Amino acid sequence: MRRRLALVLLSFGGAAQALAAPAGNGDFDAALRTTVSLAHDVQQRERAIAALERGLAAAAGDLAGKQQALAALRSQQEAVLAALERLAYAPPEAALLAGERPVDRLRSGRLIAAAVPALAGEVRRLDAEIGRLSGESAELAAKRRELAQDRQALAKTRDQLAAAIARRVELRRELVRDDPEAAARALKLGSEAADLPDLIRRAEAESERREREAQQRAGGAAKGKAVVPPADPTRPRTLHNFEPHSALTAPVAAPLGRRFGETDAAGTPSQGLAFAAPGNATVVAPFDGRVDYVGPFRGYGLVLIIGHGGGYHSLLAGLGRADARIGEWVVAGEPIGAMPEPARTEAAATLYFELRHDGRPIDPQLSLAKLENRVADHRIRE
């Protein structure tokens, strides 16, 4: 009897402990896969909406040009028709009083007789053009309704992504203790660094210092235990080091504004890629790695640096919001931030993207992968 009672109490105690236990790596991995998948969906919608907006702008411009030409043609035809009406309804004595010679009157009659069929043909062509323009106007209105529906769907998916990111942050806090001084040290790094290569070196050294401290803490906590816990349980099981043949994910669903090596107005060649991104566009990690720096830096605005291993780093500048923190591990396609809110004075913001090896800029476009040809979560092991 006592044994049965002990087993019952033990089973209840184990169930209570399981309910009270914090989230494990499996929950965090699942949340990570969800954010990657939703970010992919958001970028697909953003890309489709951008293409639809460009098509609508071109169609609206073409329609406006046709309507203007049609209005000019209609004005000309109305003037000719008014002149013919005046001649047709003019009394015979008016022609006699005008002093016009008989041969001139005959010539005028022939011109009128020839002009009437031509004018009738123009009227028929005008009616047909009006019909075509009406059809184009209806098609344009349908595309605008489609755009409105797509924007509503995008807003809904963005809300889902925001909830998934919040869940990921919550689970990470349960697994890893936050460093309350990380933001202050980042500001100090940004103020002390002389240039981007110097900032990358300082940020990487700081990240390595934090990792050593985390490993020491994990080792100290594991004394006397058979299994040593990992320094950072949120680190994905499979992380790829960047290599020359590795493929990059485009950080934002937007067209390129300036390519690597192209000069600006001052004649300075670009050391990266500039994307003309719409407001609130989702920004994702271009490759697996560790976030080494998040913060402002000189004239670059909000900067995020990811170390990919092997001396490779990605730099993303011009973000409006960062959803990743210093020291976090990220995988390709994982949402790490968003572009600024839409501005009234400009149609798009600029996301600046650099890829550097040992501090030297290299052309990232050579390694960019097409999002539509890759699986969003192919780097995350179940």
pLDDT score recorded for residue 265: 78
| pTM flag (> 0.85) | no
Give the bridge partners for 29, in sequence order.
none
pLDDT score recorded for residue 317: 95
pLDDT digits (tens, 9 = 90+) for 143-177: 888 888 888 999 999 999 999 999 999 998 888 87
pLDDT score recorded for residue 65: 67
Distances (CA, A) of 244 to 241, 263, 358, 377, 379: 10, 25, 13, 21, 18
pLDDT digits (tens, 9 = 90+) for 16-38: 333 333 445 778 889 999 999 99
Q: What is the mean pLDDT of the chain?
A: 76
- Residue 372 above 60 pLDDT? no
Q: Which one has a higher pLDDT value, 236 or 339?
A: 339
Question: What would the mean pLDDT of 77-99 be, rounded to a whole number?
Answer: 56
pLDDT score recorded for residue 189: 85
SS3 state at 141: helix
Who's near 69: CB < 8 A, 6+ residues apart?
none
CATH (one of 2.70.70.10, 2.60.120.380, 3.40.50.920, 3.40.50.720) for 183-223+238-382: 2.70.70.10
- Residue 371 above 50 pLDDT? no
- Residue 278 above 70 pLDDT? yes
- Residue 377 above 70 pLDDT? no
d(CA 13, CA 98): 119
> What's the DSSP call for residue 365?
G
d(CA 40, CA 292): 24
pLDDT digits (tens, 9 = 90+) for 328-364: 999 999 999 999 987 654 556 899 999 999 989 998 8
Give 321's pLDDT tier (boundaries 50, 70, 90): very high
pLDDT digits (tens, 9 = 90+) for 191-234: 889 888 899 999 888 888 887 876 776 665 555 554 445 567 88
Q: What is the token pair recorded at 138? A: 């209806």
pLDDT score recorded for residue 103: 47
Who's near 77: CB < 8 A, 6+ residues apart?
119, 122, 123, 126
pLDDT score recorded for residue 179: 72
pLDDT digits (tens, 9 = 90+) for 89-148: 555 554 444 555 554 554 555 555 565 666 566 666 766 666 676 677 777 788 888 888
- Percent of the chain past pLDDT 70, that is, above it, reads 65
- Residue 275 above 90 pLDDT? yes
